[in-house]
Structure 1
Amino acid sequence: MLPPPETTVGLPVRTVLPALGAGIERAGVVVLVAPPGTGKTTLVPLALADRVPGRVVVAEPRRVAARAAARWMASLLGERVGDRVGFAVRGERRVGPATRVEVVTTGVLVRRLQRDPELAGVDAVILDECHERHLDSDLALAFVAEVRATLRPDLRLVAMSATADTRRLAQVLDAAVIEAHAATYPVEVHWCPPAGRVEPTHGPRVDPRLLDHVAATVRRALADGPGDVLVFLPGARELTTVAGRLTGLGVDVVTLHGRQTGANQDAALRPGPRRRVVLATSIAESSLTVPGVRAVVDSGLSRVPRTDHARGLDALVTVAVSRASAAQRAGRAGREAPGRVYRCWSPAQHERLPARAEPEIATADLTGLALELALWGHPDGAGLALPDPPPAGALRVAQDTLRALGAIDAEGRVTERGRAIAAAGTHPRLARALLDGAAAVGGVRAAEVVALLAEDAPATGGDDLVAAWRGRRKDAPAAWRQEVQRLSRMVPDRAATSLPDDQAVGLVVGLAYPERLARARRSGGTAYLMAGGTAADLAPGSGLAGTPWLAVADADRTPGAPTARIRLAVPVDEGTARRAGAALVSQTTEVGWIDGDVVARRIDRLGAITLVERALTDPDPELVRSALLDGLRREGLRLLTWSREAVALRDRLAFCRWTLGEPWPDVSDAALLARAGTWLGPELGRARHRADLGRVAVEVALRRLLAWPEAARLDQVAPERIEVPSGSRIRVDYTDPAAPALAVKVQEVFGWPEVPRLADGRVPVVLRLLSPAGRPTAVTQDLGSFWKSGYPQVRAELRGRYPRHPWPDDPAAATATRRTSPRGR
């Protein structure tokens, strides 16, 4: 089937076809590295068809590339698409009985492998653009490799990449690498950063000032030289915006993106009758040749999937391109002649770009991949030839989602419902919404909403999804109509009830994303709480503001922002929210320490959203006890009423612990809180609220900490009071456990030769000697020394002030007294 050389002159891959054929015959698998423009996508399949008797299947990552490749190969053979060369993409297939080369998307190949792992009638598989690392591309590579290893060792495999970074790919496949070098034309680089300030991208948003600058750069490229201009922008919205800024130039402005119909995409890949500006997303980076292009204007942006696994948010976000992608884009200007590339950033910014884009498996939502792995029989991907293993955390989240959808069982095996979800050919969440929503809203309405949700960014002009749905129905693009028809065929169009449009759309959205059902935090506000626990806000001025409930279709969160931003949503009532999020509805009995007291209530919740709250009159006593203990741990022992006696007892126990150690109990705050359930005992069992803790007899409770024989020895080791020579029983101050103190008048300790000792004689008491009026006069632990040297000075200072009190010359031999001296003495 290889066309004659004169029809493919200048295609460098032709020179390596003999080596490629020999490698395939020898090992059955080859990695081919060939930059864009070498002819690998068209010549290799035709050459391989000459070597095998069966069909050659070529897998492309995008539908537009699959159709374009089939059309170009058929034209080289002088035939129509569907003869010896055909294609199959989602919703469209053009093949016939004579077809030898069939070009498919990687997603179609994965579905075909799941249905028929042996690929009956297929003798060779070519995986094109493996470097792009889409999820379907990785799965197709892994599945075909396992088929070769276990079922079809005769199946040939060629993995083709446009970049030379193929070490991992060759290692995974255990394959030799063959390289074809492109004879491209030189491309002159123009650095064109915006002159003014441009805000960095947040989520899907692109600063309009950057789009203005891109449009101005396109005008410059048109003026600088001949040929068509290919412009790279991140998404369909930006294509429309820039197209609106390029009127009146005398050129045709056409767009090329994934949401267009096949006819419109194909038209963008054909030369026009006059000069053109082709506005394209990243689908034009590789696999495709846009004829006539002599200049490329690169915005430097790309739209990629990102998932916030912690908050359950997944979306397409706008990021800077990698240096590898920038090189691919620039190369489009040098396919047919010397060209120019206008990069809308500076050389310094270019050096800070990542070397290459991250593979989708590292950043994207893995729910679809996890379902395919489960269908294949490898739920965790172990043992498969995946270029990179799925991140464990992201895969676990995906598997939890599939279990919630009923798609896999507890062991990760796919269920019959999971097979039905997979057969829908869309994201598992959307497939679930289609299957379950059809019975409530009708198959057509469910299919319409799912088709809208499947788009990367439904054009709404706002955040009201119902308005977008009505607008789409009124002016439906062919691609959307085709997808609706495809999805409608999978479900019956019989609705059990007739729901209004907003509730019907909201129900389908809620079935797809139940954790994004959201209720307003306050009446009339723009702040919401999602069922998954994420706080989210509507944009200022949103027409949805004040809606009590929303079913959120799209939300994202800027790194560092405290809340998510709601991008697309539907107003719903509480009944619809309960219906859509039925699996998240729960009723719990909650007894806990909340806002400073014990709260006992029964709560109906939708995920993190409280629906109904009722007080409990007869809560479980054990739960109340746990709540009180939690309150003590949070707020401390100040919740108890500490009488003078309780404080004194605690100080005595602290002295015993300090002096003698174990088994005397630790009565520090931390220790008492840790054992509160033990020493508070019955008093805690009788308490129901915060106020009850204040009525606990703390002194009685503390004594429970004392075991025998310590309880019997407490008054001996740390007496509450000490009798002094005057006969008075004075309370000991144990505030400082290292230095227990006795505050006593000097006259009451006359005759005492030394201070008493506590803790079995280990610790001398500190005497705080007072004047007859109770004022401090001296402090000592050595009475013998005080009587000799300290007392004379105290006597000289105080006997004139207190003449009716005894001041003997020899206090050590005097009689202690609490009374004054008789009058006249």
Structure 2
Amino acid sequence: MGGPGRRETVGHWAVLSDVPLDLPVRPVLPAMVSALRSAGAAVLVAPPGTGKTTLAPLAVADAVDGRVIVAQPRRVAARAAARRMAALLGERVGDQVGYAVRGERRSGPRTRVEVVTTGLLVRRLHHDPELAGVGAVLLDEVHERQLDADLALAFTVESRAALRPDLWLLAMSATPEADRFAALLGGAAPAPVVRASAALHPVTRIWAPPPRPVPPPGAGPVDRVLLDHVAATVRLALRERTGDLLVFLPGVGEITAVAGRLADLRAGVDVLRLHGRQDSSEQDAALRPGQRRRVVLTTAVAESSLTVPGVRTVVDAGLSRVARLDLARGLGALVTVPVSRASATQRAGRAGRQAPGHVYRCWSEATHERLPAQPEPEIATADLTGFALELAAWGAPDGTGLALPDPPPAAAMTVARQTLSTLGAIDADGRITARGRAIVAAGAHPRLARALLDGAARVGADRAAEVVALLAEESVARPGDDIVAAWRRLRAGTEPAATARWRAEVRRLRAALPVAGDGRSYPDNLPAGDVAGRSAPDGSDRSRRLPDDGSPTPLPDDLAAGLLVGLAYPERLARARRPGGGAYLMSGGTAAELAPGSALAGADWLAVAVADRSPGAPTARIRLAAVLDEATAREAGAPSLRTDREVGWSGTDVVAREVVRLGAIELVERPLPRPAPEAVTAALLAGLRGVGLDLLTWTPAARALRERLAFCRRALGDDWPDVSDGALLAGAADWLGPELATARRRADLARIDVAGALRRLVPWSLAGRLDELAPERLTVPSGSRIRVDYTDPAAPVLAVRLQETFGWADAPRIAGGRTPVLLHLLSPAGRPVAVTADLASFWRTGYRQVRAELRGRYPRHPWPEDPTTAPPTRSAWRRR
């Protein structure tokens, strides 16, 4: 076929030279085609506004046999690119240039260039890895690093290497990471890189930060001060500049808020919206030139591959919304983050596509230098369940050997595989199962595909497709958090744009349902029936009345919606913490709350479809849910329904019970009459370790024995038992012995003879020497037997009246003579007058001072000059 730039027509194909459009990318197109001819793969780097999305596919189609597939990350960009190319050729979309997105296709037998979403390309590669009839695949905006885009790149590279070496593969990017993609495409040697010059028209940057610092939004709402500032900047730009304005905001909520602030703009200015949740006709309206001056409020959908005609000025709020997954709780959240420098450049380029332009950046130049260079790839932050299933379906469960720009995070992949295993989509080795292939074929997130496949047989194919389509096209449920209310609105058709998008998805999902296993199709619908009592008296699974044939009672729409949501998200089945409230516990263990004023408040059970949890928040916020009853919750969450027999320490005593649970939710509790003795013993031990040894009754004799044993261990070594708290708790099962084995409750612990139990710790060879080495009492010179205090094992104390020690030359020693007893010498009134372990030294030096101070106070008691020879006494002299 003719190369680009030749004025000839091959068959009915209008060659590129027939397009009277000169853009910066056009001069490099011959080099691009030459690189593809020689290497089969290439990278085209072209800044925003250079025309790569429009002209490169036409140039490739001029030079290659077969259809040219152009993959775009977004549906709106795919449709817009196809319309733009068709218009340049003077044709209608669906003739030589067509497109295909989820639920919509406009192409025919004459189509040579077909623009598809990256997700749809992945589907086609699964169905036909050879891509029969396709001559080239162009992957546009590969730098955006969406999951489907990464998969499309990896699968196409492998398909070309293994099956289609003749297939041309071109990666197109607006950012300078060309070498990375060249290495991925090239295999043994990097693919050639072709670079186009910058956009034709310059863009002047204007730094316009808010008047005061604005806190980063994170998972919360964007600060109103920033939204006020964006609206004020739009008004300023309208006064200072000509042409249309394109305003970048992080999400639909912010678009609505700023649109409200601009509602009073003067006549002659139209405020339009452009985002991915709109109907295609609404998107197309924003992409067509207007009769009046326009302000187009958009999300990141307009960063690349889209030309909004007439735009001369961009106002950039500097924020982007990205998905984050809480791996521990399985909850996703949309988090608002500062835009990257690369994305800011992309956005600014929208102002210079057709003439010199200006960009008002709502942040400072210093802040700009601190922005990340590139946006974070989706693979690093998103839910990887669908991604992991695609890899398994491709035959590479862990992605090894594929041309993925980044490896998937190990933790996120582990969670994804666990989810897929629970759904029955993969086996123990990570290989896809027949059920997994059915889930892939449904073309929805694996959770939603599971709900579609399993729910269709229960509620009918039509209702299953309708509810799953609502979950897949989540935006059509807004406003409000009640899925059933949204379902009724869509059925009634009160919102035409949302209804049209929903019905298209319903048709697609309905067609995706396979034939049932017995050869019959799923029923179109099943009759709604009355729901019987919500729970059986015994708490068993027989909570829904069954017809005579044993099948479950047909569900009304309300419960059908709840069942389908529960099948998709069984860990989000939630029960109210208290009747009539808005706080719930989800079966996965996460606490959740409804928004204030929610119409769902007061429901005993919810099936939660969408919930998110802000960093640091104690609970998740429920965004979308359906009311259901316990019977339906049991049905939806059947794999997590279990009966546990529990014997444990409750904090105050042993509790033995039988509990029916749905995940973390306790449904039924009843006493366990005959718990296993070993389980009771384990519970008592847990109580001891949790509460402490005070659960036992420590008599004075038991405490004294423990202190004597502690002294022996310190004084005589490790042959003696360790009676510290830690050691006694760790070895409680041994030293408490048979008394513990027969105990059944806390009161039984209090009745144990602790002193007798402690003696079991002493080896038999040492037991007979305990009284010798650590005597309970010592005989003093007066004949009194006085108890030794072993509270401090380092210094046993003998408190004795001074007159009873007359005749002792030195303090007594215990532990086989190793340790002197610390004498607390008392006055006749029992008050300490001296503390010493060296009695001989005290007699020589300290006694004289004590004698001088006390002999006048206690004249009836002896105070001899030489206490070592004086007779000891326990009493005072008698009066004469």
TM-score, scaled to structure 1: 0.94
1:589 aligns with 2:645: yes
1:169 aligns with 2:169: no
Match of 2:267 in 1: 249
Match of 2:97 in 1: 85
What does the per-residue CA deviation read over 1:194-249, in whole Å, with 9 as the maximum and x for residues that have no partner?
A: 55786753537445665455445444434434323223233344445544544663
Q: CA deviation at 1:520?
A: 1.8
Q: Which amino acid aligns with 2:671?
A: A
Q: Conserved in 2, the CA contact under 8 Å of 1:605 and 1:612?
A: yes
Compared CA separation, residues 81 and 334, structure 1 to 2 (3 A):
same
Q: CA deviation at 1:803?
A: 6.3
Larger displacement relative to structure 2 (238-247 or 36-45): 238-247
Compared CA separation, residues 774 and 232, structure 1 to 2 (3 A):
closer
Larger displacement relative to structure 2 (459-468 or 803-812): 803-812
RMSD value, Cα:
2.7
What is the distance in 2 between the residues matched to 1:770 and 1:217? 90
Match of 1:105 in 2: 117
Q: Conserved in 2, the CA contact under 8 Å of 1:204 and 1:303?
A: no
Match of 1:54 in 2: 66
Q: Secondary structure at the match of 2:769?
A: helix
Larger displacement relative to structure 2 (228-237 or 811-820): 811-820
Compared CA separation, residues 385 and 496, structure 1 to 2 (3 A):
farther
Q: Conserved in 1, the CA contact under 8 Å of 2:220 and 2:614?
A: no
Q: Conserved in 2, the CA contact under 8 Å of 1:748 and 1:816?
A: yes
Compared CA separation, residues 317 and 744, structure 1 to 2 (3 A):
closer
Q: Conserved in 2, the CA contact under 8 Å of 1:526 and 1:546?
A: yes
Of the candidates 507, 511, 526, which is equivalent to residue 495 of structure 1? Answer: 526
1:514 aligns with 2:514: no
Match of 1:288 in 2: 306
1:43 aligns with 2:55: yes
Larger displacement relative to structure 2 (87-96 or 140-149): 87-96
Match of 1:387 in 2: 405
Match of 2:244 in 1: 228
Match of 2:393 in 1: 375
Q: CA deviation at 1:252?
A: 4.2
Of the candidates 333, 342, 348, which is equivalent to residue 324 of structure 1? Answer: 342
What is the distance in 2 between the residues matched to 1:792 and 1:14? 116
1:70 aligns with 2:101: no
Match of 1:187 in 2: 203
Superposed counterparts of 1:559-598, under 5 Å: 559-598=615-654
Compared CA separation, residues 30 and 815, structure 1 to 2 (3 A):
same
Of the candidates 92, 108, 118, which is equivalent to residue 96 of structure 1? Answer: 108
Superposed counterparts of 1:344-363, under 5 Å: 344-363=362-381
What is the distance in 2 between the residues matched to 1:635 and 1:183? 73
Larger displacement relative to structure 2 (597-606 or 204-213): 204-213
What is the distance in 1 between the residues matched to 2:446 and 2:286? 32
What is the distance in 1 between the residues matched to 2:293 and 2:860? 124
Q: Conserved in 2, the CA contact under 8 Å of 1:519 and 1:528?
A: yes
What is the distance in 1 between the residues matched to 2:231 and 2:803? 103
Q: Conserved in 2, the CA contact under 8 Å of 1:204 and 1:316?
A: no
Compared CA separation, residues 749 and 421, structure 1 to 2 (3 A):
same
What is the distance in 2 between the residues matched to 1:689 and 1:764? 44
Q: Conserved in 1, the CA contact under 8 Å of 2:219 and 2:615?
A: no
What is the distance in 1 between the residues matched to 2:794 and 2:300? 77
Superposed counterparts of 1:626-641, under 5 Å: 626-641=682-697
1:609 aligns with 2:609: no
Match of 1:702 in 2: 758
What does the per-residue CA deviation read over 1:436-485, in whole Å, with 9 as the maximum and x for residues that have no partner?
A: 22233332222222222223534533332322222222224322211111
Q: Secondary structure at the match of 2:397?
A: coil
Match of 1:17 in 2: 29
What does the per-residue CA deviation read over 1:573-614, in whole Å, with 9 as the maximum and x for residues that have no partner?
A: 222222222222222122222232222221122222221222
TM-score, scaled to structure 2: 0.88
Q: Secondary structure at the match of 1:733?
A: coil
Q: CA deviation at 1:121?
A: 2.1
1:463 aligns with 2:491: no
Q: Which amino acid aligns with 1:406?
A: G
**Percent of matched pairs sharing the same residue:** 69
Of the candidates 479, 501, 510, which is equivalent to residue 479 of structure 1? Answer: 501
Compared CA separation, residues 183 and 696, structure 1 to 2 (3 A):
same
What does the per-residue CA deviation read over 1:165-188, in whole Å, with 9 as the maximum and x for residues that have no partner?
A: 223222333323211113421223
Q: Secondary structure at the match of 1:638?
A: helix
Match of 2:538 in 1: none
What does the per-residue CA deviation read over 1:262-295, in whole Å, with 9 as the maximum and x for residues that have no partner?
A: 3443343232344433333222111121222222
Q: Conserved in 2, the CA contact under 8 Å of 1:440 and 1:497?
A: no
Match of 1:129 in 2: 141
Q: Conserved in 1, the CA contact under 8 Å of 2:48 and 2:199?
A: no
Q: CA deviation at 1:92?
A: 2.3
What is the distance in 1 between the residues matched to 2:237 and 2:853? 106
What is the distance in 1 between the residues matched to 2:852 and 2:272? 113
Match of 1:556 in 2: 612
Q: Secondary structure at the match of 2:284?
A: helix
What does the per-residue CA deviation read over 1:143-191, in whole Å, with 9 as the maximum and x for residues that have no partner?
A: 1112223222332211110111223222333323211113421223334
What is the distance in 2 between the residues matched to 1:560 and 1:548? 27
Q: Name stretches of at least 5 consecutive residues in structure 1 with no aligned partner.
A: none
Match of 1:26 in 2: 38
Q: CA deviation at 1:773?
A: 4.7
Q: Name stretches of at least 5 consecutive residues in structure 2 with no aligned partner.
A: 5-14, 514-521, 530-554
Q: Secondary structure at the match of 2:135?
A: strand
What is the distance in 2 between the residues matched to 1:139 and 1:423? 16
Q: CA deviation at 1:794?
A: 5.1
